[in-house]
């Protein structure tokens, strides 16, 4: 399911300076995540962005989780 959700996230150098967007639109993943973090609910987000689908919001969350799941290598001290 994550691969299907993540396929909704597009990264194009010529669009939004290469930042992750939703389905080729100029709606940035970071903007949706920020709205969610500020307590704005899915119904309000979908109302503000009529081209978005519920799965797009889940895709933003899946993308964020995938980015945080990358291993971090720390230099020895």
Q: How many domains does the chain have?
A: 1
DSSP-assigned beta bridge partners for residue 22: 9
- How many angstroms separate the CA atoms of 10 and 18, rounded? 9
Domain assignment of residue 15, given as a range: 2-68
Q: Is residue 58 part of a domain?
A: yes
pLDDT of residue 1: 58
Q: What's the pLDDT at 60? A: 97
Inter-residue contact 63 to 70 (CB < 8 Å): no
Integer Cα distance of 60 and 36 in angstroms: 10
Structure tokens at 62: 């899946």
Angle between helices 54-68 and 29-37 (to 10 degrees): 90
Q: Does a structural domain hold residue 32?
A: yes
Per-residue pLDDT 10s for the chain (77 aa) are: 588 999 999 999 999 999 999 999 999 999 999 999 999 999 999 999 999 999 999 999 999 998 987 777 777 77
pLDDT of residue 46: 98
Tell me, what CATH number does 59's domain have? 1.10.10.10
């Amino acid at each position: 399911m994550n691969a299907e959700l993540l396929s909704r996230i597009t990264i194009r150098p010529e669009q939004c300076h290469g930042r992750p967007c939703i389905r080729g639109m100029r709606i940035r993943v970071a903007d949706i995540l920020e709205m969610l973090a500020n307590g704005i609910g899915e119904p309000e987000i979908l109302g503000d962005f009529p081209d978005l689908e519920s799965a797009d919001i889940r895709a933003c969350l899946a993308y964020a989780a995938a980015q945080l799941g990358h291993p971090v290598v720390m230099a020895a001290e």
